[in-house]
Amino acid sequence: MNAMPLEGEYEPSPAQWVREQVELYESSGGTQGTTLWDTGLPVVIVTMRGAKSGRIRKIPLMRVENEGRYAAVASKGGFPRHPVWYSNLKANPQVDLQDGPKRQSMMARELAGDERAQWWQRAVAAYPAYAEYQEKTQRVIPVFVLEPEHLAGSAKAPAPTRN
């Protein structure tokens, strides 16, 4: 698959704080708006295609990085339902990820089993509130790995069968 930047009509988030963080992050070239409020913890911006609208959507997520791969944790603050973007990534796994000034094309893959457990640990280490969010909700919080094409499929754990 060819890693082209995503193109199309951008539909900003209806949530004002999310929209504003994306705008500041992008307009500053990844030098401002790069942390979650007063926590000082870094965030990345994930650009994706909407599952139904086909429009371009952008969301900030906590930065959980390991050797060039990143986690996308669909926590939505422990809300009872998955964030809408969960179905966007399932339908259209090609995304762009901006980490500070660096922007890269990535493929998203939902994790299961040991691979999920390993990334969950990394996620909680980067952003401890994820553990509280999991306690707040009945659902198991989905975890995706976002990986550049040249790293996709080269994980140590065997690739899970399609589900």
What's the distance, CA 117 to chain centroid?
17
Our finding on whether 51 is near ligand F42 (CB under 6 A) is yes
Specify the amino acid at residue 104: Q
Interface with ligand F42 (CB under 6 A), residue from 25, 34, 61, 118: 61
CB of 150 to ligand F42, least distance (A): 25
Interface with ligand F42 (CB under 6 A), residue from 74, 107, 145, 152: 74
Q: How many CB atoms lie within 10 A of CB 44?
A: 24
- Judged by CB under 6 A, the chain residues 82 through 121 that form the site for ligand F42 are 83-85, 87-88
The contact pattern for ligand F42, residues 4-23, with x = CB under 6 A and - = no contact, is: ---------xxx-xx--x--
**Angstrom distance (rounded) from CA 89 to CA 107:** 9
- Contacts with ligand F42 by CB under 6 A: the residue count is 27
Specify the amino acid at residue 32: Q
8 Å CB contact between 80 and 140: no
Alpha carbons within 13 A on the beta-carbon side of 36: 15
Which tokens sit at 49? 């295609």
CB of 143 to ligand F42, least distance (A): 10
Interface with ligand F42 (CB under 6 A), residue from 53, 113, 131, 140: 53
Our finding on whether 73 is near ligand F42 (CB under 6 A) is yes
Pairing of strands 143-147, 102-110: antiparallel
Q: Which residues bind ligand F42 (CB under 6 A)?
A: 13-15, 17-18, 21, 36, 43, 50-53, 55, 57, 59-62, 73-76, 83-85, 87-88
